[in-house]
């Protein structure tokens, strides 16, 4: 079974631009969560989508948004990029919604650099 895939793997943008990242979960998984990883803050939860609905959201500004499609694929969008948005963005999928204690499997991440 193929793992979680994320595209693109690397991205360079400038301040003020917007970016869209894509995640394809493991086949059959319906929950997709997004995380931001930086050296200073570590791994932080952004949001979770299940059955095309956002189920939970971490403490990030409204510039960070996402959506999930009927095939469970998910996209994350960051508008008006700031230097501090430079990070590794990780997507993780699971069969059940997170509150049901299902195990998540992570993708390789998208490395975003904001100049």
For binding to another protein (CB under 8 A), which residues are involved?
Answer: 4, 6, 33, 35, 42-45, 48, 56-59, 88, 90-92, 98-99, 101, 103-109, 111
Closest to another protein by CB, 13 vs 111, is 111
Shortest separation between residue 9's beta carbon and another protein, angstroms = 9
User: Beta partners for 12?
Assistant: 113
Pairing assessment for the beta strands 64-68 and 53-57 based on DSSP bridges: unpaired
Asked whether the beta carbons of 91 and 99 are under 8 A apart, the reply is no
User: Beta partners for 68?
Assistant: 74
Shortest separation between residue 16's beta carbon and another protein, angstroms = 27
Backbone angles phi, psi at 93, to 5 degrees: -125, 155
Closest to another protein by CB, 70 vs 101, is 101
């Amino acid at each position: 079974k193929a793992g979680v895939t994320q595209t693109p793997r690397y991205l360079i943008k400038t301040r003020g631009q917007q970016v869209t990242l894509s995640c394809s979960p493991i086949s059959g998984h319906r929950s997709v969560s997004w995380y931001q990883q930086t050296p200073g803050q570590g791994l932080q939860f952004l949001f979770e989508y299940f059955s095309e609905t956002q189920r939970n959201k971490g403490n990030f500004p409204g510039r960070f948004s996402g959506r999930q499609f009927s095939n469970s694929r998910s996209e994350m969008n960051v508008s008006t990029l700031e230097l501090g948005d430079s990070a590794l963005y990780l997507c993780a999928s699971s069969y059940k919604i997170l509150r049901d204690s299902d195990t998540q499997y992570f993708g390789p991440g998208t490395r975003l650099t904001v100049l």
